[in-house]
Structure 1
Amino acid sequence: MVTETKFSPKTEHRYQIAHLLRRAGFGSSSDELDYYDSIGYEKTVEELLTPVNITRMPDSLITRYHTETSATMGPYGGPTEWIYRMVSTNAPLSEKIALFWHTIFATSVTKLSGAIPMRRQISMFRDKGLGSFSDLLISLSKDPAMIYWLDNWTNHKDEINENYGRELLELFSMGVGNYSEEDVKECARSFTGWTVVNGDYIDAQASKCSFQPYGRYAWQFQYLPEDHDDGEKEFLGEKGNFTGEDIVQIICKQDATATFISRHICNFFLADEVPVTQWPYEAPNNPKLIEKLKKVYFETNYNIKEMLRVLFLSEEFKDRSNFYKKVKSPSELVISVMRLTDKFGNGPRLDARNVFLAMVNMGQHIYNPPTVEGWHGGLEWSDTGTLVERINFCSEQFGDTESPGVKKMVDTLVSRYRETPSDFIDSCMEILGSIEIGEETKKTLISFAKEHKSEESLTPTDYVKTMLQLITTTREYQLC
């Protein structure tokens, strides 16, 4: 006799925690949600912000199956390694914050001679991404991938290159309209001498290297004082013999910077905004919350973790009006599905690169943003082509009952086969992480359930599997 599995009661408190886990991580299973529900919302926030005893699939195991990840050579190594980390980690916010900064400080592997510098940049985002924004900007300015990507290695005291200085102000910190062309020039002058070791040789090799495992380099930052313009500069109203560090400190104390970063946080973690290019002309969705985050930004020496703590604990974040207000990015959708299905639960798989390629086909090639603006996100994630890719991916993954997570869900739900269609659909949504769907969608699913149960056209196992596939291919499942 099959024993019916009991689920925890559905409460608003539980739905709020599920919402938090979708935004600060990649969703949750019902079992994970039971744990966080037991410790409460506030403690869940703290565990996400300050994880201890972090575990994930070890690199040594991954490289046995994917040798290209050991040096991240070729087009698959770096992204595949990151996918394994996102799927297997018990500290999801560490990976989510890396995605956040990868979206803003958009750097592409296509210009580099290999993925090692990109992998180190992503690692830097994990290490610095929840700390002081000023520390993060200094680390970014010394990051070899960024230096090469935005040409600061060709920024010399006698021949400045404004590329990095311009993007630092426009896309990375302040936004259009908050600085002058003269500020761009003075910013670039301050970063002269910030380069990579043996840049000319690396550039020559990068131009001729193929995606074969030869000629790759672990780049290093180098400061050349003889190439630094140490003359007086005037930047954002201040005068001095500024260095790059000085420029970062001046940038970080600007009100425009606090506004820009606060709006980015709301855009990524709270609700989709218009693309960043429209921000100078469109008011933010949540101006009062942005003011609250700005206050924390200045009070805590620009600390991102403290800003997120205030956001996650705010009434605005927990309010139902902000549930399902974001379209999942391809990475969020793919990783949330892979964590639920636990397809890598028994270790790496040789077909893991197909997961990465599915993400690419949905419109997001991690390690390779389309431009220095990154991905626009929101509704732009979903068009007629990418929506089909999303639906097919979810259907395929939840239809694979050999995946440990799918098998566990099916076995659990088979015991509830005799429930009314409405109750059974609720059970499915609970096991998928206390997700919710609209009334019209539920009516359609109930109609399907009644038809197939009355005709007994599906076995209990196939009925469960099909219902999971249908729910995860709904419009609502594309949102978080």
Structure 2
Amino acid sequence: MTNLKQIKHLLSRAGFGMRFDDLKATGDQTNKEVIAGLFSSSEKHEPLNVAKSIGDYTMARKGRKKADQAERKMLMQMQRQQEREINLAWIDLMSKDNGQLREKMALFWNNHFACRSKQPLHAQQLVNMQRQHALGNFKTLTLAIAKSPAMLQFLNNQQNLKGHPNENFARELMELFTIGRGNYTEQDVKESARAFTGWGYDQSGEFRFRPAAHDDDRKTFLGKSGNFTGEDIINSLFDKKETARFISTKLYKYLVNETPDTAHINVMSDVFYKANYEIKPLLEYIFTAEWFYEDKNIGNLVKSPVELIVGLNRQFDIAYQKPAILLQFQKVLGQVLLYPPNVAGWPGGRNWIDSSSLMYRIKIPSTLLNGGMIDFNGKADPEDEAFLATAKVMKEAAGTRVQAHANWNKFLGSIPPSLDNKSLAQFMLQPTISNALTKTVAQAKDKKALVIELVSSPEYQLS
């Protein structure tokens, strides 16, 4: 296959890496055929459905003005348990589902619209929105997120009322979600906040517009005046090409290179804007562009912790006797799903790596593949601590045996018999192999031992 290098690069960026099974499936397909297959396999999806209804949490409180301490503790434990289950369910889905492009993009949107919700049903709803619209229309996704109870609560728009506007959501909508800094004024923030007054949700978690709480006076936003609503503000932001540029830049850094290329991003912005913010045409342009496959854009991105974990799970078909250990992996690597550090999300890139996380990044693959012991140190932030406590992994932090089973028979059996050690290493790793690792590869007598060496190398941290 003459285009193996390109397809391997494509699957590492549009998914979570290439497996030997993928090698067989793609056969002699062209890049365009593989790209079409990525979209086709991502057309259908099943929503996550592990969180219980809000009523299940509040039933015990029915008919009582105030829950006692024991009841509040019970309700919190139920919520934490649900948060844990949503996290692990999504990890499991990413690890097993064929719709890799959908899940990879949902992971991007999950960090773009970074949000913490203490209500599991709302958190699950948010993730399902991001998965549903991951390859659809960005404007539609933005409006859905803006009206979601998770985001309304997280950015205080539930408290955004006529005469007492709260600017949190309006500010982040512009600064982080759409147009970006430098393209609006403080007065635009104030005026748009007034437009979002009255947006909230009811006890069932459904969006509700409350006319009595809405400021229906005239507003001036981005140079135009009118009796604007929240929908009008979002429409105005999407009329500006700066929004297409802002998102294109973030996507370039996520899929191509941490160092933006102005010329390429300019064209991406044109494609995105002319497509009325449809995501698929933009991705098709990126994945078919010659510059996407240039050597400088291959093996140059640091895998996020979730990408690292999911990639291992998919490559080696790993089964966990105690899946809660995956929460601990996320914690020590610095990315606990559903718990971004703030509304700006995880900064990503080289920020994923520090002396502590690199040690665990090198150690975790071999530990998983050998079912070995691993010591966890470090401390999560208070909310992460409470989240992880539900899984009872904090108490087992020191000297935890990772009870995982890698399907070595399947993995080794999928390796083409003609593949030599050097070719095996080139398949497993994206960047150019270092001289030190080249010697290890040349001297290896056992393929299983070699593979463990490869996934425990610094090169394996890059996609």
What range is the shorter-chain TM-score in?
A: 0.7 to 0.9
SS in 2 for 1:38: coil
**Structure 2 contact 298–431 (Cα < 8 Å) conserved:** no
Q: Does 1:39 align with 2:44?
A: no
Match of 1:138 in 2: 143
Match of 2:407 in 1: 405
Q: Which moved more, 1:434-443 or 1:158-167?
A: 434-443
Match of 2:461 in 1: 478
Query: Which of residues 212, 223, 231 in structure 2 aligns to 1:226?
Result: 212
Q: CA deviation at 1:51?
A: 2.6
Q: Deviations over 1:216-258 (max 9, x none)?
A: xx52211111211111111011111111111111001112211
Q: Does 1:442 align with 2:451?
A: no
Query: Which of residues 86, 89, 93 in structure 1 aligns to 2:97?
Result: 89
Match of 2:221 in 1: 235
Q: CA deviation at 1:182?
A: 0.5
Match of 1:80 in 2: 88
**Structure 1 contact 73–115 (Cα < 8 Å) conserved:** no
Q: Does 1:147 align with 2:152?
A: yes
Structure 2 CA distance for aligned equivalents of residues 180 and 58 of structure 1: 39
Q: Does 1:301 align with 2:298?
A: no
Q: Deviations over 1:110-167 (max 9, x none)?
A: xx2x321111101001112222222111111101100000000000011000000000
Match of 1:197 in 2: 202
Q: CA deviation at 1:331?
A: 0.5
Structure 2 CA distance for aligned equivalents of residues 292 and 377 of structure 1: 24
Q: How does 1:305-324 map to 2 (within 5 A)?
A: 305-324=280-299
Structure 2 CA distance for aligned equivalents of residues 365 and 54 of structure 1: 26
RMSD between superposed Cα atoms in Å? 2.6
Query: Which of residues 348, 354, 362 in structure 2 aligns to 1:383?
Result: 354
Q: How does 1:416-431 map to 2 (within 5 A)?
A: 423-430=420-427
**Structure 2 contact 95–310 (Cα < 8 Å) conserved:** yes
Match of 2:125 in 1: 120
Distance 1:55 1:104, change over 3 A: closer
Structure 2 CA distance for aligned equivalents of residues 76 and 410 of structure 1: 33
State the percentage of identical aligned residues: 32
Q: How does 1:259-270 map to 2 (within 5 A)?
A: 259-270=245-256
**Structure 2 contact 42–102 (Cα < 8 Å) conserved:** no
Which amino acid counterpart does residue 179 of structure 2 have in structure 1? M
Q: CA deviation at 1:411?
A: 4.7
Which amino acid counterpart does residue 289 of structure 2 have in structure 1? S
Q: Does 1:395 align with 2:366?
A: yes
Distance 1:441 1:119, change over 3 A: farther
Structure 2 CA distance for aligned equivalents of residues 362 and 99 of structure 1: 16
Q: CA deviation at 1:428?
A: 4.6
Q: CA deviation at 1:406?
A: 2.5
Q: Does 1:287 align with 2:262?
A: yes
Distance 1:75 1:180, change over 3 A: same
Q: Deviations over 1:416-473 (max 9, x none)?
A: 7xx9xxx32323543x4x7454241433314653xxx5xxxxxxxxx32221111111
State the number of aligned residues: 407
Q: CA deviation at 1:407?
A: 2.6
SS in 2 for 1:171: helix
Q: How does 1:270-281 map to 2 (within 5 A)?
A: 270-273=256-259
5+ residue gaps, structure 2: 51-75, 373-403
Distance 1:394 1:155, change over 3 A: same
Structure 1 CA distance for aligned equivalents of residues 137 and 289 of structure 2: 21
Match of 2:184 in 1: 179
Using CA pairs below 8 Å that are at least 6 residues apart, which structure has the higher relative contact order?
A: 1
SS in 1 for 2:205: coil
Distance 1:144 1:474, change over 3 A: same
Q: CA deviation at 1:398?
A: 2.8
Q: Does 1:364 align with 2:349?
A: no
Distance 1:159 1:124, change over 3 A: same
Query: Which of residues 1, 6, 14 in structure 2 aligns to 1:16?
Result: 6
Match of 2:19 in 1: 29
Structure 2 CA distance for aligned equivalents of residues 304 and 70 of structure 1: 37
SS in 2 for 1:364: coil
**Structure 2 contact 430–462 (Cα < 8 Å) conserved:** no
SS in 2 for 1:39: coil
Query: Which of residues 239, 244, 265 in structure 2 aligns to 1:253?
Result: 239
**Structure 1 contact 49–309 (Cα < 8 Å) conserved:** no
Which amino acid counterpart does residue 101 of structure 1 have in structure 2? W
SS in 2 for 1:222: strand
SS in 2 for 1:179: coil
Which amino acid counterpart does residue 270 of structure 2 have in structure 1? K
Distance 1:54 1:245, change over 3 A: closer
Structure 1 CA distance for aligned equivalents of residues 310 and 449 of structure 2: 21
SS in 2 for 1:380: helix
**Structure 2 contact 111–345 (Cα < 8 Å) conserved:** yes
Distance 1:17 1:246, change over 3 A: same
Match of 1:3 in 2: none
Q: CA deviation at 1:410?
A: 3.4
TM-score with structure 1 length normalisation?
0.79
Point out 4+ residue stretches in structure 1 off by more than 4 angstroms: 52-60, 68-72, 411-416
Structure 2 CA distance for aligned equivalents of residues 52 and 32 of structure 1: 15
Structure 2 CA distance for aligned equivalents of residues 341 and 389 of structure 1: 19
Structure 1 CA distance for aligned equivalents of residues 97 and 457 of structure 2: 27
Distance 1:400 1:409, change over 3 A: farther
Which amino acid counterpart does residue 35 of structure 1 have in structure 2? A
Q: CA deviation at 1:69?
A: 13
Q: Does 1:328 align with 2:323?
A: no
